[in-house]
Amino acid sequence: ANEIVLPDWLHDAERTLSCMDEATKSIQSSSYKGYVMAIPQGRTQNEWLSCAKRMLDYDVDTLGVSCRYTEMFGGSRVLAVMALWGIINQSRSVNVQIHLLGCWGDPRIDVAPLLDMDFVSGVDSSLPAIHAKYGMVLDGYHVRPKGMIDIANDQYNHELLKGNVDLWRHLCQTVV
């Protein structure tokens, strides 16, 4: 692996920071030399941003922005990322990147405008795979089907999965 994600607890800043403290100590005592991503958590905008600011006191390379936090910013991932970038700039941790975790909206609105920003390293999503698992073509506007991905046991139509991944990449590069 070239980047590991530190443990986090959804909406729980203090528990996330406590686990992060333990995990970073383990990393420092190991031979791991790759990148480290932390994912801020919180119940409010202020708590989420405060958590992110405290994370910058650690040796992290990336802060992840979950799609779950867009509602705190009026449904806008762009506003969440810009608020986070403001915290990063204030801390003078300008080498820290932002990674987009998941996408619940239209990726042309939620993701594409951000991928042009130098400080956004990328996006990941299970949407192409979860749609393929259920035999569905990703059209970019589907709600995520219920269910989890089981990499070891799921069966996929590989052509459908490839088509969904190709469409996902295209949508993430198309700003509307």
Res. 80: pLDDT tops 70: yes
Diameter of the chain measured on Cα atoms = 47
When computed from its CA atoms, the radius of gyration of the chain, rounded to whole angstroms, is 17
What lies within 8 Å, CB to CB, of 125 at 6+ separation is 102, 103, 107, 168
**Predicted local distance difference test score (pLDDT) of residue 140:** 64
Torsion of CA 66, 71, 75, 81, to 10 degrees: -40
Residue 98, strand partner residues: 63, 120
Query: Element (H or E) spanning 53, and its range?
Result: helix 45-55
What is the reported pTM? 0.89
pLDDT tier at 151, thresholds 50, 70, 90: confident
